């Protein structure tokens, strides 16, 4: 082997003894250590606030993210060409008041014209090198960090984005979050809702979708489709004072809360009753959930099809948009 050349394939025993970190998960059940996650949501769905809340949790400024604590605290790098500098400053200022200061380094690369596949990407790698420790990297958004003329439906152009992400994963063991835009008409699982080339979903370890009923509501749900784990549904509310997303407990079993879960679980395939029941266990018994589900059907919040063992459920309008929420704030369609 020539001098300075990295070794290639290694024997299994050697591979298993190589340093790979102690934790499988960076955020249990949601983000693999050194993994790649895509976040999507329509405008004003709290996606950016969610990203900042996530970063503050990893950097030690807050104890957890929607009730889930990171396996370890780590440095954070926020990279974006989105929004004005003053807007980003104000959001982060509000979110770090009252003693919410990171214990780990938190760096911001905002409006520095960083672009995938250009010499400016060195600003990202230099920052990660300076950390000297695996970091969480939020890239906000794919579109804003791409070169002029970027075609999101092109496998070639998307390949440039993915190559940059792979390199910081391989060279710095970075855990990467990429904010993307949803497809306007996509249905089904979150991967199908990602706008652009299918290689994005093929490469990602998970897709997180932020859903908000409408702009009048200060709450919503995060639906995480994790390839090597279970689907996770996290209700949240936005704190107007701190700008942070906070976990929202579902304290009561109602027709509306059942309808919300049906929407969250919807992936283009009708749901069995047991899939809905298990989301409320063990706090609520099977009979109580089925009664609430029947009430949701009666009120027109959930659609029931079939009978007996063939009975299935789906949201009222899983492909359409709900301009107005129901009286209790549950919406019937997607959040587009």
In the chain, what are the domain boundaries? 21-247, 255-315
Quote the CA–CA distance of 304 and 162 in Å, as a whole number. 41
Residue 250 pLDDT more than 70? no
Residue 4 pLDDT more than 90? no
Given this model, what pLDDT does residue 330 score?
A: 36
Quote the CA–CA distance of 303 and 305 in Å, as a whole number. 7
Region of residue 27 (phi > 0: left; psi between -120 and 50: alpha; otherwise: beta): beta
- For residue 207, CA distances in Å to 139, 178, 247 come to 14, 10, 19
Measured at the CA of 201, the angle between CA 196 and CA 203, to 5 degrees, comes to: 120
Quote the CA–CA distance of 292 and 296 in Å, as a whole number. 6
**pTM assigned to the model:** 0.75
Residue 117 pLDDT more than 80? yes
The percent of residues in the chain predicted with pLDDT above 70, rounded, is 85
- Structure confidence by residue, pLDDT tens digits, 161-212: 999 999 999 999 999 999 998 877 655 555 667 888 889 888 999 999 998 8
21-247 to CATH, choices 3.40.50.300, 2.40.10.10, 3.20.20.70, 3.40.109.10: 3.40.50.300
Fold of 255-315: Arc Repressor Mutant, subunit A (1.10.10)
Higher pLDDT, 173 or 43: 173
Quote the CA–CA distance of 315 and 304 in Å, as a whole number. 9
- Structure confidence by residue, pLDDT tens digits, 278-298: 877 767 788 888 999 999 999
Distance of CA 135 to the CA centre of its chain: 17
State the pLDDT confidence band at 6, using cuts at 50, 70 and 90: low
Are 274 and 231 in contact by the 8 Å Cβ rule? The answer is no
Given this model, what pLDDT does residue 103 score?
A: 97
Q: How many CB atoms lie within 10 A of CB 172?
A: 22
């Amino acid at each position: 082997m020539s001098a300075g050349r990295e070794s290639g394939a290694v024997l299994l025993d050697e591979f298993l003894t190589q340093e790979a970190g102690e934790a499988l998960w960076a955020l249990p059940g949601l983000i693999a250590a050194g993994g790649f996650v895509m976040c999507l949501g329509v405008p004003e769905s709290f996606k950016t606030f969610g990203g900042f809340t996530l970063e503050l949790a990893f950097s030690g400024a807050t104890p957890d993210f929607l009730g889930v604590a990171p396996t370890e605290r780590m440095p954070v790098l926020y990279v974006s060409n989105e929004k004005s500098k003053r807007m980003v400053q104000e959001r982060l200022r509000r979110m770090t008041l009252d003693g919410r200061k990171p214990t780990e380094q938190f760096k911001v690369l905002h409006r520095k014209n960083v672009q995938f596949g250009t010499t400016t990407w060195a600003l990202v790698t230099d920052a990660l090198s300076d950390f000297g420790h695996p970091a969480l990297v939020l890239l906000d958004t794919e579109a804003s960090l791409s070169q002029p003329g970027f075609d999101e439906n092109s496998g070639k152009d998307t390949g440039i984005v993915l190559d940059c992400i792979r390199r910081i994963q391989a060279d710095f063991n970075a855990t990467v979050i990429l904010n993307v835009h949803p497809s306007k008409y996509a249905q089904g699982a979150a991967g199908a809702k990602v706008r652009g080339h299918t290689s994005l979903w093929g490469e990602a370890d998970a897709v997180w979708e932020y859903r908000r009923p409408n702009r009048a509501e200060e709450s919503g749900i995060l639906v995480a489709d994790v390839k090597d784990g279970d689907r996770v549904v996290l209700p949240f509310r936005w704190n107007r004072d701190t700008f942070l997303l906070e976990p929202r407990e579902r304290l009561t079993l109602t027709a509306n809360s059942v309808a919300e879960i049906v929407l969250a679980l919807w992936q283009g395939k009708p749901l069995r009753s047991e899939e809905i029941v298990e989301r409320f266990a063990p706090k609520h018994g099977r009979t109580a959930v089925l009664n609430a589900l029947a009430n949701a059907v009666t009120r027109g919040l959930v659609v029931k099809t079939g009978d007996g063992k063939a009975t299935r459920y789906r949201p009222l309008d899983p492909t359409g948009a709900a301009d107005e929420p129901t009286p209790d704030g549950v919406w019937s369609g997607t959040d587009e």
